[in-house]
A and B are shown apart, each in its own frame.
Chain A
Amino acid sequence: GAGVSQSPSNKVTEKGKDVELRCDPISGHTALYWYRQSLGQGLEFLIYFQGNSAPDKSGLPSDRFSAERTGGSVSTLTIQRTQQEDSAVYLCASSSRGPYFEETQYFGPGTRLLVL
């Protein structure tokens, strides 16, 4: 029984480079969420996918951020031209049906991104 997995677990990159973060949700879960948490800060919501529906991108911090979900399963979060303020832990979570239902969200271990 696999949980939510994320890769890479750690990523160090140089300012200006592009990075791609991956999330594999629990099999069969239709809802997938991306969050980030900067050092010592609270959680910040980024984007949410419900099945194959187009997501609301208004939570993404800038146009350098994009996310997609292929086939209603795996999701990738891409950050272009990374900046030092992008350094954070990027967390992915999934749930069976979505946030209109009272159900558990399961978090992955996160990807720790450090932009030098």
Chain B
Amino acid sequence: GQNIDQPTEMTATEGAIVQINCTYQTSGFNGLFWYQQHAGEAPTFLSYNVLDGLEEKGRFSSFLSRSKGYSYLLLKELQMKDSASYLCAAYYGQNFVFGPGTRLSVLP
């Protein structure tokens, strides 16, 4: 199967930096998505990495290493509103495989 692994829960402090890791199987891999989902709401697209390297979008950055089957989402200057689940998903041909999601709690 095409398993996606990410931590199920993380806690961080307001103003801090947090890195959420995601590993995936590389065979047939095309790209890696990150989504944010607040409780009771639809997901919001954050990023999509196809090439190796770091892509920065404001306080959020996403990194991909295709050879290692590894990605991370970096959140800087954490705010209380960043408390949410962060979903990692790998795109394989016509199929998307989602990880279980990482529930991030930002504490004051």
Is the C-beta of B104 less than 8 angstroms from some C-beta in chain A?
no
Q: Which residues of B contact A110 (CB under 8 A)?
A: 42
Contact B45 A43, beta carbon cutoff 8 Å: no
Q: Which residues of B contact A43 (CB under 8 A)?
A: 35, 43, 87, 89, 98, 101
Contact A45 B50, beta carbon cutoff 8 Å: no
Is the C-beta of A16 less than 8 angstroms from some C-beta in chain B?
no
Query: In the complex, which of the residues A42, A44, A91, A93 has the most CB atoms of chain B within 10 Å of its own CB atom?
Result: A42
8 A Cβ contacts from B51-108 to A: 87, 89, 91, 93-101
Q: Which residues of A contact B42 (CB under 8 A)?
A: 91, 107-110
Q: Which residues of A contact B50 (CB under 8 A)?
A: 100, 102
Q: Once bound together, how far apart are the Cα atoms of A56 and B92, in whole Å? A: 12
Q: Once bound together, how far apart are the Cα atoms of A100 and B31, in whole Å? A: 8
Is the C-beta of A65 less than 8 angstroms from some C-beta in chain B?
no
**Are A56 and B94 CB-contacts (below 8 A) given A99-B31, A107-B43, A107-B44?**
yes
- Number of B positions contacting A (CB below 8 A): 23
Question: A-B contact count, CB below 8 Å?
Answer: 59
Residue of A nearest to B91 (CB): A99
Q: Once bound together, how far apart are the Cα atoms of A114 and B33, in whole Å? A: 29
Contact B87 A42, beta carbon cutoff 8 Å: yes
- Number of A positions contacting B (CB below 8 A): 24
Chain A to chain B: the 10 pairs with minimum beta-carbon distance, closest first: A56-B94, A45-B96, A107-B42, A105-B45, A43-B98, A102-B48, A42-B101, A42-B100, A104-B45, A99-B91
- Residues of A near any B CB (own CB < 8 A): 33, 35, 42-45, 48, 55-56, 58-59, 91, 93, 99-100, 102-110
With A43-B87, A43-B101 known, 17 other A-B pairs at CB within 8 A are A35-B96, A43-B35, A43-B43, A44-B98, A45-B97, A56-B94, A56-B95, A59-B96, A99-B31, A99-B91, A100-B31, A102-B49, A102-B50, A104-B45, A105-B45, A106-B45, A107-B43
- Pairs across A and B, CB under 8 Å, 11 listed: A42-B98, A43-B35, A48-B96, A99-B31, A99-B91, A100-B31, A100-B50, A102-B48, A103-B48, A105-B45, A107-B45
